[in-house]
Amino acid sequence: MLHLYGSPHNRAFRCFWLLEELGLEYEFTKLDTQAGECRTPEFLAINPNGHVPTLVDGETTVWESMAINLYLVRKHGGPLAPKTLQDEAKLYQWSFWAMTEAEPPLLQWGMHTHFLPDDMRDPAVAEEAGSQLATRFAVLEGALAECDPLAGADFGLVDLNVAAVCSWVELMHYDLADCPRLRAWLERCLARPAAKRVSAMS
């Protein structure tokens, strides 16, 4: 039995979403990171970094949300899996892009516009992060103009991984008015039944 440690409402969302898309049976343990539940000796024996998500598949343990998704689709295949070497390269390219190009400024922007206490917010940090986001989302907007969904004819893991990161724009009230293709693509991705099931999880 697959066992996923993490919450449906943090980075583990993308892993829960893929598990639901693949129709795999799994168990999960929701850990409260704020309460130190990831720092117990028991959990540190599973992931010495003390982070979620973490997947345990028999004797195999995988850390990092994107690595978990790449592992799951490599092992189980299915309609979301890349079909050619070129498709696989696109999956890696956009998954790493989402982690390194989109996620950091999106988090910075959200923290300094919504989530930090007022006295801890830095307007200059928010402005710089917003500028970076506009540039990077323009890149994705251009890619979607050429290929929507990103996987080609059908929704694939590349779309899931990127959409899971971009989904934070809703929580952070980031305006995608300048990226209509991105906004429409993201709405379609998040309207998938598997994504909605995970969003409804407590």
Tokens of 139: 């890149």
Q: Single out the residue of 59, 58, 62 nearest to residue 5, CA to CA.
A: 62
Q: Tokens 């989109």, residue?
A: 102
Range of the structural domain that residue 25 is part of: 2-76
For residue 16, pLDDT over 90 is answered with yes
Q: What is the per-residue pLDDT for 108?
A: 97
pLDDT at 194 over 90: yes
Condensed to tens digits (0 to 9), the pLDDT of residues 151-188 reads 998 999 999 999 999 999 998 989 999 999 999 999 99
> In angstroms, what CA-CA distances link 82 with 18, 66, 157?
14, 15, 8
Mean pLDDT confidence for 28-56: 95
Verify that 64 and 7 share a domain, yes or no: yes
Do 47 and 109 lie in a common domain?
A: no
Quote the mean pLDDT of the chain. 96
What is the mean pLDDT of the segment spanning 112-138? Answer: 97
- pLDDT at site 59: 97
* Mean pLDDT in residue range 46-54: 97
Whole-number Cα distances in Å, 103 to 41, 46, 73, 158, 192: 30, 26, 22, 15, 22
| Same domain for 183 and 90 | yes
Q: Are residues 116 and 17 in the same domain?
A: no
Cα gap 172→113, rounded to integer Å: 8
Same domain? For 164 and 94 the reply is: yes
Our count of domains for the chain comes to 2
Residue 114 has pLDDT above 90, yes or no: yes
Neighbours of 46 (CB within 10 A): 18
Residue 174, φ and ψ in degrees, nearest 5: -80, 130
| φ, ψ for residue 48, nearest 5 deg | -65, -15
Last residue of a domain, one of 36, 58, 76: 76
- Looking at residue 202, its pLDDT comes to 81
Domain check: are 70 and 92 in the same one? no
Q: Which of 3, 12, 5 is closest to 198 using CA atoms?
A: 12
